[in-house]
């Protein structure tokens, strides 16, 4: 069975592993991105790790999922936020192919996560949108079974849209939740898990913070449902560690803002592949690119 070397490049960590053609994770690991060193340095780090892994595993290609706007035809970063400086313009595909002598395919991380869900998530739909709710908010769009990336590869960047005059990911991400919590309790460095623990215990301040967070997230999701009329909304990212409780909370909140006739025909679900979705989706993208 064919095997692939996969990387998922995020602003904080780089996941890597060996994935077979059925999407099974053979081995995996983590390393710090050290994003402050800049985009070219990150690719040097990927190349160095790749050389070591190739010595121990027989792989036929390298599949990469990465933050940023990616021209997946050329494997080049065409746009990137402040998280990874000097990333725009980095020719990932060219550099890694030259260094490691294997074919390389590159795609945006949220697109890859959605492709992984499409491949192995068991969702059985041809029209869906995916949101990742973590430090920020990312998005991906699948229409008639095909990923839609937009004419400059930035479709799904709805973390930047406005909800009630506020940038969506600044009020409806985990970072946004932490910022809301600090308005009420400034005496500690919060995590999302700590905030929800107090919220579940009935803490009045954390209820105010969490209620505001859920409101903004629900309004954003409602707007996206109105725009795309998807069969499913698949929600992933760090927030989903809360599990079914989170899913019920967001479903209930969305119902406050959406037309009942539209809500009943739209299923909101949690992502199935968790932390490895980016690597798995990158391999799926590699396989499909080679079949085209």
Number of Cβ atoms within 10 Å of the Cβ of 65: 30
137: tokens are 């908010």
| Per-residue pLDDT at 291 | 83
The pLDDT of residue 290 is 85
pLDDT tens column, 168-226: 999 999 999 999 999 888 777 889 999 999 999 999 999 999 999 999 999 999 999 99
For 213, phi then psi, to 5°, come to -60, -50
Low-confidence ranges of the chain (pLDDT < 70): 292
Q: Are 150 and 254 in contact (CB under 8 A)?
A: no
State the pLDDT at residue 184: 87
Q: Percent of the chain scored above 90 by pLDDT?
A: 89
Helix (H) or strand (E) holding 34: none
Q: Are 185 and 194 in contact (CB under 8 A)?
A: no
Would you state the pLDDT for residue 134? 87
pLDDT of 12 reads 87
Q: Is 263 helix (H, G, I), strand (E, B) or coil?
A: helix
- pLDDT of the residue at 292: 66
What is the C-alpha separation between 58 and 3, in angstroms, rounded?
7
Task: Tell me how far CA of residue 90 lies from CA of 214, 227, 282, in angstroms.
Answer: 37, 33, 18
What domains lie within the chain, and their CATH numbers?
A: 3-114+275-291 (3.30.420.40), 123-270 (3.30.420.40)
Q: What is the rounded CA–CA span in Å between residue 236 and residue 9?
A: 17
* 231 sits in which H/E element: none
Beta bridge partners of 9: 14, 66
pLDDT at 75: 98
The sign of the CA dihedral 86, 89, 94, 97 is positive
Question: What is the β-pairing status of strands 166-167 and 162-163?
Answer: antiparallel
Q: What is the pLDDT of residue 283?
A: 98
Instruction: Please give the pLDDT value at position 83.
Output: 85
């Amino acid at each position: 069975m064919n095997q692939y070397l996969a990387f998922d490049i995020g602003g904080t960590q780089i996941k890597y592993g060996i994935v077979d053609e059925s999407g099974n994770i053979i081995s995996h690991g983590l390393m710090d991105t050290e994003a402050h060193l800049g985009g070219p340095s990150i690719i040097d780090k990927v190349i160095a790790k790749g050389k070591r892994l190739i010595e121990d595993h027989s792989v036929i290609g390298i599949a990469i999922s990465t933050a940023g706007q990616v021209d997946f035809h050329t494997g080049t970063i065409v746009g990137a936020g402040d998280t990874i400086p000097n990333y725009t313009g980095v020719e990932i595909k060219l550099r890694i192919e030259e260094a490691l002598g294997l074919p390389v395919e590159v795609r945006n991380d949220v697109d890859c996560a959605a492709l992984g869900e499409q491949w192995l998530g068991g969702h059985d739909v041809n029209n869906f949108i995916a949101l990742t709710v973590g430090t920020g908010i990312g998005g991906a769009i699948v229409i008639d079974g095909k990923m839609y990336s937009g004419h400059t590869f930035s479709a799904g960047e709805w973390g930047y849209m406005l909800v009630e005059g506020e940038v969506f990911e600044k009020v409806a991400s985990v970072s946004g939740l932490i910022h809301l919590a600090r308005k009420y309790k400034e005496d500690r460095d919060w995590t999302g898990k700590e905030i929800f623990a107090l919220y579940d215990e009935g803490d009045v301040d954390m209820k105010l913070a969490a209620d505001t967070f859920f409101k903004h997230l629900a309004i954003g999701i409602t707007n996206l449902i109105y725009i795309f009329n998807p069969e499913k909304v698949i929600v992933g990212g760090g927030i989903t560690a809360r599990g079914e409780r989170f899913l019920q909370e967001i479903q209930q909140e969305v119902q406050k803002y959406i037309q009942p006739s539209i809500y009943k025909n739209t299923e909101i679900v949690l992502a199935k592949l968790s932390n490895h979705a980016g690597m798995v989706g990158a391999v799926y993208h590699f396989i499909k690119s080679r079949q085209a």
